[in-house]
Amino acid sequence: MATKLTGREIQLVARPRGLPTPADFRRATVEVREPAADEVVVRNLFMSVDPYMRGRMNEGRSYVPPFRVGEALDGASVGEVLASRSPALSVGDLVVSGRGGWREYHVASASAYERITRSVEPLSIHLGALGMPGLTAYVGLLDLAKPKAGETVFVSGAAGAVGGMVGQLAKIAGCRVVGSAGSPEKAEGVVRELGFDAAFDYRQEPPKPALERLCPEGVDVYFDNVGGEHLEAALAAMKPFGRIVACGAISAYNATSPAPGPRNLPLVIGKRLTIQGFIVSDHLDRTGAFRADVGRWLAEGKVKSRETVVNGLDQAPAAFISMLQGGNVGKMVVKLA
Amino acid sequence: MATKLTGREIQLVARPRGLPTPADFRRATVEVREPAADEVVVRNLFMSVDPYMRGRMNEGRSYVPPFRVGEALDGASVGEVLASRSPALSVGDLVVSGRGGWREYHVASASAYERITRSVEPLSIHLGALGMPGLTAYVGLLDLAKPKAGETVFVSGAAGAVGGMVGQLAKIAGCRVVGSAGSPEKAEGVVRELGFDAAFDYRQEPPKPALERLCPEGVDVYFDNVGGEHLEAALAAMKPFGRIVACGAISAYNATSPAPGPRNLPLVIGKRLTIQGFIVSDHLDRTGAFRADVGRWLAEGKVKSRETVVNGLDQAPAAFISMLQGGNVGKMVVKLA
């Protein structure tokens, strides 16, 4: 590149206590370094904000290294190659990466990117239905919970990126699907737009009576994105030999002290339940099958992708904070440039 | 039988609140009915008191029907056939049954009994190491947790009938084994007598620091007989991809209101843990393999059977209450007649 390129990025100023605030983040303009051999420069078009990022803002080891205070955040992004020193990628190629987000430009080895095409639009779908959230739903539901036709599947966070896909995949598997969401509109939306059999607004009706009302025969599979009261209610509603897949616990992510666990956890014994925690990054070998299946279902209209788009890198912290509070319908993405 | 036979039995007078008291039980003398076709009359020699019976003293559905107030309790027993109207069993045969306990004489279809021999002594071993507790340990550890050589197994209630067997089976599987028990003598005993690598007295040292001290590298398999604080400590100590087998929650059995669950349950996600509840009666198809294996290990001295024997049916309620408080070392049995 002839002149020095500069770009904006979002840095972590302080580790949030409880719900993050805008003051925990700052925008900085930094010089974009020259690519070394085998590296490319990517200009981001979209970036992802995801619940798991909240955990990375805390100190201490987790399954992903914590973000560093004073440095840029990172996460999934979709962009286009601006300069290349690798034979694997050419200028103009569209790529998705797992760590390129929260900034305008990203420089890394070409092997950190995967080329995508415009065959499916919008490109941000690679951050949602065809990206990590979609794979999370696919692996957690189909590989781990293994729902059978006729079974009842309950999913919390049903209007979110993962939950919405879980419900649609469960419908394809022939299940009855019930979801919880954080507003009447969201609950209605997953039924009307995504084909759930029923849904409830957990802010109006606690999960326990809602499940008694909507799943009087009990629940075979619970896909947990929320934890807390939802998990306790699901334990009470589970049928014998039910399977709980523990994907997330968003109700706990902003807690400043750990909340008590479900009082009825001993039910796992008498009901012979399985609770299985998982992380999508252990299952990347399923990416091919996932893309083939979900790509086909998208094309056939059997799966719908929904997203909430926020414009501009400067709005990324607000988008992230809003997502943690349920401000999104479908995948929350930030459109850059 | 020429004259009417009478026998004593223990009846439930009231559903216990919290820890049962002797007043919740009464002894009654009842007429032993004549056997119908295919039935036998059995005189009990030993009967079992087990933790799961506490749950049956509560109202409400569980995986076993509740005991009825005003009627005799039941449970596993070993006895000898006194009269037979079945070709399958002869007078003098030794038998074990799952529902013949808490009484001196029992009349039921011959198919409710299994014939045993005196090849292994004492006969009460069929209520412990070669009975339901042994099968529970065998299935829960070997079939469900699937320990691998070199892994660390933690078992709570290590001095009990199930826990002691779990630890010994884990040693045979090549694991490092740590147990918790309710007194210094019990902790020392499982190391000295059963070959555990280490044990701690949870009344002196809470499970969390004890596991940090004894399992600094973490725990691969936790066999949970206790729940509560033990489960929370185990969750904190588990290694990634660890397996928790939920067999019992004796810490909760006498609670008058449900205790909060583990505050750190969301760790199942980041650590990719599995919690699997089970009930031994779902796994009776494993009885043959279990008896062959454990019978051989007993004969080879690789497994030891320990028991605490209380004498006399009248002492059965006291034995049961004592067992719930940890008054037993190994299997708690009641010797009749």
Q: Kindly determine whether residue A269 and residue B261, on different chains, have CB atoms separated by under 8 Å.
A: no
Q: Kindly determine whether residue B277 and residue A270, on different chains, have CB atoms separated by under 8 Å.
A: yes
Q: What is the pLDDT of residue A256?
A: 83
| Chain B residues with at least one Cβ partner in A under 8 Å | 55, 62-63, 227, 231-232, 240, 246-249, 252, 258-279, 282
The CA distance from B252 to A220, in Å, is 25
Helix (H/G/I), strand (E/B), else coil: A71: coil
Q: What is the pLDDT of residue B4?
A: 86
- For chains A and B, CB pairs below 8 A equal 103
Residue A271 CB contacts under 8 Å (≥ 6 apart), including other chains: A238, A239, A240, A241, A242, B63, B277
Q: Which residues pair with B6 in a beta bridge?
A: B31
pLDDT in tens, A282-306: 999 999 999 999 999 999 999 999 9
List chain B residues with CB under 8 Å of A275: 268, 274-276
- CB atoms < 10 A from the CB of B225, how many? 26
Pick A272's closest partner by Cβ from B267, B273, B277.
B277
Q: What is the pLDDT of residue A62?
A: 66
CA pseudo-torsion sign A133, A139, A142, A145: negative
pLDDT in tens, A28-74: 999 999 999 999 999 999 999 999 999 999 987 666 789 999 999 99
Pair of tokens at residue B217:
């590298």
Pick B268's closest partner by Cβ from A55, A246, A258.
A246
Helix (H/G/I), strand (E/B), else coil: A140: helix
> Domain B132-281: which topology?
Rossmann fold (3.40.50)
Q: Kindly determine whether residue B263 and residue A264, on different chains, have CB atoms separated by under 8 Å.
A: no
Helix (H/G/I), strand (E/B), else coil: B233: helix
In terms of CA atoms, which chain B residue is nearest residue A239? B63
> Are the C-beta atoms of B334 and B127 separated by less than 8 Å?
no
Can you say how many angstroms the Cα of residue B237 is from the centroid of all Cα atoms in its chain?
A: 26
Shortest distance between the Cα of B79 and any Cα of chain A, in A, equals 29
Shortest distance between the Cα of A229 and any Cα of chain B, in A, equals 12
Residue A121 CB contacts under 8 Å (≥ 6 apart), including other chains: none
Domain boundaries, chain A: 6-128+306-335, 132-281
The closest alpha carbon to B105, from B327, B324, B313, B317, belongs to B313
Pair of tokens at residue B250:
């004796």
The CA distance from A96 to B262, in Å, is 39
Pick B282's closest partner by Cβ from A63, A266, A272.
A272
CATH number of B6-128+305-335: 3.90.180.10
> Are the C-beta atoms of B296 and A288 separated by less than 8 Å?
no
List chain B residues with CB under 8 Å of A277: 267-274
In terms of CA atoms, which chain B residue is nearest residue A63? B270
Report phi then psi at B250, rounded to 5.
-60, -25
Pair of tokens at residue A258:
């750990």
Q: What is the pLDDT of residue A152?
A: 98
Pick B279's closest partner by Cβ from A260, A263, A272.
A272
The closest alpha carbon to A159, from A325, A331, A334, A298, belongs to A331
Q: Kindly determine whether residue A265 and residue B240, on different chains, have CB atoms separated by under 8 Å.
A: no
Residue-wise DSSP of A228-281: HHHHHHHHHHEEEEEEEEE---HHHHT-SSPPPB-TTTTHHHHTT-EEEE--GG
List chain A residues with CB under 8 Å of B55: 270
Instruction: Evaluate if residue A2 carries a pLDDT over 70.
Output: no
Query: How many residues in chain B?
Result: 337
Pairing of strands A331-335, A307-311: parallel
Bond preceding residue B258 cis, omega within 30 of 0: no
Instruction: Write down the residue that tokens 């279809």 correspond to.
Output: B109
Shortest distance between the Cα of B81 and any Cα of chain A, in A, equals 33
Q: Kindly determine whether residue B266 and residue A279, on different chains, have CB atoms separated by under 8 Å.
A: no
Residue ranges in chain B modelled with pLDDT below 70 = 1-2, 61-62
pLDDT in tens, B194-234: 999 999 999 999 999 999 999 999 999 999 999 999 999 99
> Are the C-beta atoms of B305 and B126 separated by less than 8 Å?
no
**Share of residues in chain A with pLDDT > 90 (%):** 92
Pair of tokens at residue B178:
């740590």
Q: Is B227 left (phi over 0), alpha (psi -120 to 50) or beta?
A: left
**B146, B269, B282, best to mutate vs chain A, most A CBs in 10 Å:** B269
Q: Kindly determine whether residue B258 and residue A264, on different chains, have CB atoms separated by under 8 Å.
A: yes
List chain B residues with CB under 8 Å of A222: none
Q: What is the pLDDT of residue A254?
A: 84
CATH architecture of the region A6-128+306-335: Alpha-Beta Complex (3.90)
- Taking CA atoms, B278 is separated from A272, B139, B140, B269, B283, in Å, by 5, 9, 7, 21, 9
- Taking CA atoms, A106 is separated from A32, A71, A83, B55, B99, in Å, by 8, 14, 11, 60, 70
Q: Kindly determine whether residue B269 and residue A259, on different chains, have CB atoms separated by under 8 Å.
A: no
- Taking CA atoms, A202 is separated from A185, A259, A337, in Å, by 12, 18, 37
Residue-wise DSSP of A205-221: S-HHHHHHHH-TT-EEE
Predicted complex ipTM: 0.93
Q: Kindly determine whether residue A268 and residue B277, on different chains, have CB atoms separated by under 8 Å.
A: yes
Q: What is the pLDDT of residue B61?
A: 66
Can you say how many angstroms the Cα of residue B115 is from the centroid of all Cα atoms in its chain?
A: 21
Q: What is the pLDDT of residue A259?
A: 85
